[in-house]
Structure 1
Amino acid sequence: MRSAFFLAFVLAACTSAAWAGGPQRADLSQEERQRVRRITAPAAQFDRAESFEAMQGGAGTVRKLINPDIFSHPAANLDFEGRQDFMVGNGLFRKDWVSSPSSTQASDGLGPLFNARSCQACHVKDGRGSVPGFDPLQQNDAVALLLRLALPDTAQEAQDRLKRAGNVLIPDPVYGHQFQPFAVPGLPAEGEIRISYQENPVGLNGEEAAVLMVPSYRLESLGYGPLHPDVRVSPRLAPPMLGLGLLEAIHPDDILANAAAARGDGISGKPNWVLDPDTGERVLGRFNWKAGESSVARQSARAFSGDMGLSSPLFPDHYGDCTSVQEACLAMPNGAQSHLGEHEVPGRLMDLVTAYALNLALPQRRNVEDERVLAGKKLFYEANCIGCHVPKYVTRRDAERPEHRFQLIWPYTDLLLHDMGEGLADNVEEGEASGREWRTPPLWGIGLTRTVNPAATWLHDGRARTLLEAILWHGGEAQAARDRVRDMTPAQRADLIRFLESL
């Protein structure tokens, strides 16, 4: 059925105009490469939807009732065994972990310092997290927003770091790689996160100015003394979990082709290369806000370690981000059980969580034939938003999991790093990402963000309360596209937002 689905699309799409760019992929024959070029060429007509455009997750797309659980379904093309693993992984993703020792031995080992007790606490219903600060009553609710800590690179430190471990940041000597506002009983937390905002009006053609919220961060009630005077703080909001396995199945040649494209539009995306610890080779990063992880498995294991202090085969340290200065943290008991192995999250459990994360389904798009949505899509193209938010790909034929193979998908990302300007800069270098560069986030599912989490906001730190605010924060390489949106008529901006809300 998966092959029949794709073949039907190929036969329908082969009349599209040829595209000069496109893949040079070893997993495809020359004839298939030509077909894929045609299929993934940018749209040229906007009076009707493209073939299979509503099926943004390929054959795995789900047709379900739109409700707060719409992001939590398994891919439609999972087989029976895959669905079983998905359901068990779902339970592990949602369960709360507790400190050691505990009578619930299969769930202990939390911390000792941590940001959350479960994956679900940050990725609300598998969607975006929420940030405190907009509502004074939520000031202490910073579960889904973590703060990366990093010291600035010297030229030599940067070179050594890239050779040694790809994307490892230089941590604060006391507080480590990220600030953790929670701790197990008997141990001080690292402190409290406070966020305040200043209003910054931005003029719009034909209507009242939009008001952007400029965040500032304070770390208070520090539990282990002062931070390093040169430490830099990078806030990171938990992103949605949709389609991660399909993003992993995009062929590297397709991503690098976008990096190499000579377009003359001021956009110059670049890859972030990270070290594969198993092979020692540099591989393409494609996950997290700065493309600092190469696979869903490593991203998931790093979150268990850094966010919850739980060891796994990929990150075997039982104490997460505890530093050598935090002696009391290192003296706390861990949750490893001899009958389950040496890790708090044994390999089989980690595999199940990864299987879940790989196969959260994309919902079918809505209103793809609506006249105003199509007008907004045309404006999206004309503003050159597709210079970074590349609409579509055909995944690799030799993807590791069969449900991800040879699928037409519509994620609207190039998975590359782009200079987004000083307004969004965090001044933290991560691998080959500068302090002004961020990975293009996928847009699929963005229109259902508030359906899943009514308190959700946008951008890497949640500062944008609306999709229009998120656009108006774009700078650097995206400044020209942002200015085109600013200069649109109110009706055109409304159509553009309608298009985004259809994704």
Structure 2
Amino acid sequence: MRVSGCLWLLAWLSLFTGGCSRTEVPEFSQAEWQPGGKMTHKRLSKRSYVFAGQAASKQQQLDFWTGFSLFRDPWVIAPSSTKDRDGLGPLFNARSCIACHSDGSRGKMSQSGESLPTSLVLRVGSTTIANYANNHAYGGQIQPRAIRFNQGEAQHKPQGEAWLQLDESVERSSFADGENYQLTRPHYQLTKMAFGPLPEQVTVSPRLSPNIYGVGLLDAISEQDLLQQEDIADSDKDGISAKYNRVLDVITGELLIGRFGLKAKQPSLKQQIAAAFRDDIGITNNLFTEESCTQQQVNCQRAAKIGGHSSVEIPDKLLNLVVSFNRLLGVPPARDLEQKEVQHGRALFYQSGCHLCHTPSYDIAEDYPDAAIAGQKIWPYTDLALHDMGTDLADGMLEFDAFGQEWRTPPLWGIGLQADIVGEQRLLHDGRARSVSEAILWHGGEAEQSRQYFIQLNQAERQALVRFVNSI
């Protein structure tokens, strides 16, 4: 679907009349080679993202690898002799964190057909009420798996909630220079639903597990630096309306800006991890003390009482070790940045306006509490804000202040290594894009102008832009 010559001319002119902030290309900085500052990995690896940042102290590195063991190893059904990692379920998506975050990256995309998804989480929410109380049987997330009792402890066993039917259709179009491209549009349907259909105005939103390397650095960006980017009414007329989700801090009860989750639903790294333990693995903790069983899931509630834990299933000591592992995960070094083609792609990245949402860099405060993270200049290429991405990417679901077409800007650092580390490169909220080029072509809404800029580039220019994104 090409833009007509007149429409494209208007879009092109608007790029260069919106002020120098949209198109100015900053001078290349040697700091760009180290996206995480001193929390960048010591050396480049194409096998894993799981390395502590260089600035981590020896004690922090011990905590890092201890936390990694809790992140990596599978949880088991309680009661068990393995008290430090029992309590799985009763309902769950995966048995371990690493099952959804392969080597610190995204998990594998679900295949077409009917399956029990793992990395592709199916969120459930309202299309009309931002913070509604779930009054149906499925809660806030489809958990396709349930624990099995081998010794008859439960007469009535819990049920996995549903399966996923994933179908795909192909859409074809061409760039302005005549080169053809095709996109694969996913179609999702729940099957084998244990408690009947969802009510009207309740929908399902597929979310592919995000990358987790560098999240400690994202958690450390000052709120003031983020809010300086908020421009809900587009007062500077650059076509970008950055908005921060205001979400609940479950410890203090305050509304804070969201940073984590594909719609920025969680305000802090610790709360994001605690929520994932409860929702994805069925492990209660002191932030989320109740199992995710709904009132209608009587067998789930019965099974939850069998485990034998006197309080929560992961105590603060162990939860904090997992948080330390995530916080200290470094970022891979950039690659090939001084090559001519990559530098050309860098210029096109800025000239296209990609940087207006994918904010290149931040300076973390010198007085940040963790000395390993304090004072770093980082290059994540995200504003962590919500943006309208258009109808093609809309899920229709409301989450706090996030509307159905809005998604949090994902960081770009390190994504060029996904194909080597995971075996595939999957981008966007549901993993539909199989390359950087496809991801750009799915952009709409506030990013439509940048998308059209990309379509008008010639093949060499498109390749240069994509190579830059895969190098940072």
TM-score (norm 1): 0.84
Q: What do you get for the CA RMSD once the two structures are aligned?
A: 2.0
Contact 1:446 1:501 in 2 (8 A): yes
Contact 1:113 1:182 in 2 (8 A): yes
Query: Does residue 129 in structure 1 map to residue 116 in structure 2?
Result: no
1:148 aligned partner, one-letter code: R
Equivalences, count: 443
From 45, 52, 56, the counterpart of 2:35 = 56
1:298 corresponds in structure 2 to 271
Distance 1:372 1:175, change over 3 A: same
Contact 2:36 2:378 in 1 (8 A): yes
From 98, 111, 114, the counterpart of 2:92 = 114
Distance 1:271 1:327, change over 3 A: same
1:389 aligned partner, one-letter code: H
Per-residue deviation, 1:65:
4.1
Q: Secondary structure at the match of 2:330?
A: coil
Per-residue deviation, 1:207:
4.0
Contact 1:149 1:172 in 2 (8 A): no
Query: Does residue 148 in structure 1 map to residue 119 in structure 2?
Result: no
Matches within 5 A, 1:161-200: 161=131, 170-171=133-134, 173-185=136-148, 186-200=157-171
Per-residue deviation, 1:371:
0.5
1:328 aligned partner, one-letter code: N
Q: Deviations over 1:197-224 (max 9, x none)?
A: 1111132122432111111111111122
Per-residue deviation, 1:284:
1.4
1:283 aligned partner, one-letter code: L
2:78 aligned partner, one-letter code: S
Q: Secondary structure at the match of 1:53?
A: helix
Distance 1:417 1:310, change over 3 A: same
Contact 1:105 1:337 in 2 (8 A): no
Q: Deviations over 1:71-126 (max 9, x none)?
A: 10001100111111101000000010112233333322111111110000000111
2:450 aligned partner, one-letter code: A
Q: Distance in 2 between matches of 1:400 and 1:291?
A: 23
1:273 corresponds in structure 2 to 246
Q: Distance in 2 between matches of 1:277 and 1:142?
A: 28
Q: Distance in 2 between matches of 1:60 and 1:42?
A: 29
Per-residue deviation, 1:194:
1.2
Q: Secondary structure at the match of 1:75?
A: coil
Q: Distance in 2 between matches of 1:411 and 1:91?
A: 26
From 279, 283, 291, the counterpart of 1:310 = 283
Q: Distance in 2 between matches of 1:487 and 1:448?
A: 27
Q: Distance in 2 between matches of 1:333 and 1:179?
A: 17
Higher alpha-carbon deviation: 141-150 or 329-338: 329-338
Query: Does residue 89 in structure 1 map to residue 58 in structure 2?
Result: no
Identity among equivalent positions (%) equals 39
Per-residue deviation, 1:334:
4.9
Q: Is there any run of 5+ residues in structure 1 with no aligned partner, and where?
A: 1-19, 23-40, 162-168
Per-residue deviation, 1:466:
1.3
Contact 2:124 2:141 in 1 (8 A): yes
Q: Distance in 1 between matches of 2:135 and 2:190?
A: 14
Query: Does residue 327 in structure 1 map to residue 327 in structure 2?
Result: no
Contact 1:131 1:141 in 2 (8 A): no
Per-residue deviation, 1:42:
7.2
Q: Deviations over 1:290-344 (max 9, x none)?
A: 1111111000000000111111111111x2x210000000000457665xx6111
Q: Distance in 1 between matches of 2:395 and 2:63?
A: 38
Query: Does residue 476 in structure 1 map to residue 439 in structure 2?
Result: no
Distance 1:281 1:105, change over 3 A: closer
Q: Distance in 2 between matches of 1:271 and 1:299?
A: 16
Q: Secondary structure at the match of 1:402?
A: coil
